[in-house]
Amino acid sequence: MTHPYDVAVLGAGPAGMAAATEAARRGAKVVLLEESPAPGGQVYRAAPPGFVVPPDADRRAGDALRAALAASGAELRLGHRVWGLGGGPLVRQGEAPVPFRIDALPPDGEPVTLEARALVLCAGTHERIIPFPGWTLPGVIGLAAATILLKAQGVLPGRRVVVAGAGPLLYAVAAKLLKAGSEVAAIADLATRGEWARAMPALLARPDLLARGLAWRAALATNGVPVLQAHAVIAAEGVGAVERVRVQPISGGAAESFDCDALCIGHGLVPATEATRVFRAAHRYARESGGWVPVLDADRRVSVPLLYVAGDGGGVRGAAAAPAAGRLAALAALRDLGVLDGRAHARARRRPALEQWRAAQAGQAMARMMALRPALVDAIAPETVVCRCEGVTRAEIETALDDGATEMNQLKQFTRCGMGPCQGRLCGEAAAELVARRVGGRERAGFATGRLPLRPVPMEAVLGEFDYADIPVPAPAPL
C-alpha cells in the first residue's frame, strides 16, 4: 500500500471532477476513482474512445471540467469500480479513527486498496422506478438510461417510443429522439400544468436551461407529438417485448393506448447513499431532494469526520449545482486537514457557496417535480413484481407486512425483497413506500443497513492467484 492520499474522491461526475480539481490545484495529493473509462458522470458522460459525437452544451460543459481536471495534477483512476470502503470511524471501540480505505477493481487485473485521510463521496444518483404491469418487459428502459444510450452511445432505444414519467428529462429525451430520427408516440408527464407553472420562478434564475427547455417543447409541438400532462403509464403490453403502452389521466378517466417498440420511463432520481450508510453517517429523509440523504453542513461535511458528500448524492440539485458543491467539499476537506487556515478557507468558499446556492434554486424546483409520487405506489397491482432480482410481488410484500415486518431490513428478511444483485436500488423506493404506509412514514420505515460490496464483485477478481498455505485461516474454534 502506498502512502495515504490527502483526499480521495469517489466518482468523476461534475461534483467529483470539480472536487478533485480544487483540492489538487491547492497542492493536496488527490486521487479520483471512477468506474467509467472516462470522467464525466451521468450528464457529461463521455462517448466511448474512438466515438465522435457532435458537441452540444452538455459536451462543452463536460469538456471544460475535464480539461481543468487534467491540468490539476489529481491522479485519475478510471475504470476503477469501488466496491469496498473502510477505515475512518470503522475501527474498534476506543481506537482513534484511521485513514479511509478504498478497495477498487481496475478494468483488468489485481484489486487495489488505497488510503486517504479525507474522502469526498460524489457517487451521484440512480433512477427511481415505481412498478406497473409490464414494467419488466424487454423494451422498457429507464428515462435516465435513455439519455445514456442517446448521448453517450448514439443509439436509439426504439424507433417508435413512448416517453413517460416525471421531470425535465422527459422533454430532453423526447427532443433528442426526434432529432435523431425516432418517432415519439407520446409523452406522458406525471406533472400537471400547475406544477410546471409553479416551477417557473425558480427556473427564471437559469435562463439558459429555461430556453433549452422551451426549445425542446417547441420541437415537440412542431412534430405533433402528443404531450399528455398529468398522465401516468398504467401498463406496458406485448408478447416478449413491449408493443404498446396504456396511459391514463392521474385523476382517472379513459385510458389511451399507444403502439411503440420502446418505453423510456423514470419517476425521478434517488441519491446514492450506499457509501454514507456504510460509514453509519446520520441521514434524514428529504422527499423533495430525492429520498434519504446524508445530513450535511453548509460545506458538505457529513456527520463523520473527514467525510464529505458533493453533487446529487447529497440530494438532487442537478448538474449545474454539482461543481460548486464539489469545490466546497474539497475546500472543507483542506480546511479540516489543516492545509487551509480559517481565513483562507472563508475567502475561498465564498464564490462556490454563492454559485451553489444560485444553481440549487433551479435544481430544487426540478427535484421537487421528480420527487416520489405516492399515488403511483398506491396503484401498484398485487401481482406486479416489485423486486425484480428476487421476483417479489406487491402481494408478497403486503403479506410480510401483515406478518409483522415494520422496517426495511425486516421486510428484506421476511421476503428477500432487496437481497438480490441490485441490492435494492431498483425496488427500494417502492418497497419503502409500501412499508411507510403501514408504519407511518419513511422515517420509520428506515433504510437497508449499508453493507459491502457497493457493487457485486466477481469472486475471481477478489480471489486472485493463491496457495492454500497463504490463506490466513484463524485458530480453530474450541472442540
Kindly list the residues in this chain that would bind ligand FAD in the complex (CB under 6 A): 11-16, 33-36, 41-43, 81-82, 122-125, 127, 144, 147-148, 169, 172, 269, 311-313, 318-319, 322, 454-455
59 binds, among another protein, ligand FAD, none (CB under 5 to 8 A by kind): none
Q: Residue 394: which H helix or E strand, with range? A: helix 394-402
Q: Is residue 93 involved in binding another protein (CB under 8 A)?
A: yes
E strands, 279-332, are 283-286, 291-294, 307-309
Binding mask 49-88 for another protein (x = CB under 8 A): xxxxxx-----------------------------x-x--
User: What gap in Å lies between CA 411 and CA 422, rounded to an integer?
Assistant: 16
Residues shown for the chain: 479
User: What gap in Å lies between CA 405 and CA 16, rounded to an integer?
Assistant: 38
Binding mask 165-184 for another protein (x = CB under 8 A): ---------------xx---
For residues 153 and 201, which CB has a smaller minimum distance to another protein in the complex? Answer: 153
User: What gap in Å lies between CA 45 and CA 64, rounded to an integer?
Assistant: 13
For residues 248 and 423, which CB has a smaller minimum distance to ligand FAD in the complex? Answer: 423
Q: Is residue 25 within 8 Å of 2, Cβ to Cβ?
A: no
CB of 451 to ligand FAD, least distance (A): 13
User: What gap in Å lies between CA 459 and CA 149, rounded to an integer?
Assistant: 29
For residues 73 and 453, which CB has a smaller minimum distance to ligand FAD in the complex? Answer: 453
Q: Is residue 303 involved in binding another protein (CB under 8 A)?
A: no
Sort strands 227-229 and 183-189 into parallel, antiparallel or unpaired. parallel
The set of cell numbers assigned to 295 is 445530513
The set of cell numbers assigned to 20 is 478533485
Q: Is residue 98 involved in binding another protein (CB under 8 A)?
A: no
48 binds, among another protein, ligand FAD, none (CB under 5 to 8 A by kind): another protein
Q: Is residue 418 within 8 Å of 387, Cβ to Cβ?
A: yes
CB of 458 to another protein, least distance (A): 5
Q: Is residue 438 within 8 Å of 432, Cβ to Cβ?
A: no
CB of 118 to ligand FAD, least distance (A): 17
Q: How many CB atoms lie within 10 A of CB 217?
A: 16
CB of 342 to ligand FAD, least distance (A): 28
| Residues 6+ away with beta carbon under 8 Å from 366 | 167, 168, 199, 203, 316, 318
CB of 90 to another protein, least distance (A): 4
Q: What residues between 136 and 155 interact with another protein by CB under 8 A? A: 136-142, 144-146, 148-150, 153-155
The set of cell numbers assigned to 294 is 446524508
312 binds, among ligand FAD, another protein, none (CB under 5 to 8 A by kind): ligand FAD
Q: Is residue 388 involved in binding another protein (CB under 8 A)?
A: yes
CB of 388 to another protein, least distance (A): 6
Q: Is residue 471 involved in binding another protein (CB under 8 A)?
A: yes
Q: Is residue 8 involved in binding another protein (CB under 8 A)?
A: no
Q: What residues between 238 and 277 interact with another protein by CB under 8 A? A: 240-241
User: What gap in Å lies between CA 80 and CA 82, rounded to an integer?
Assistant: 6
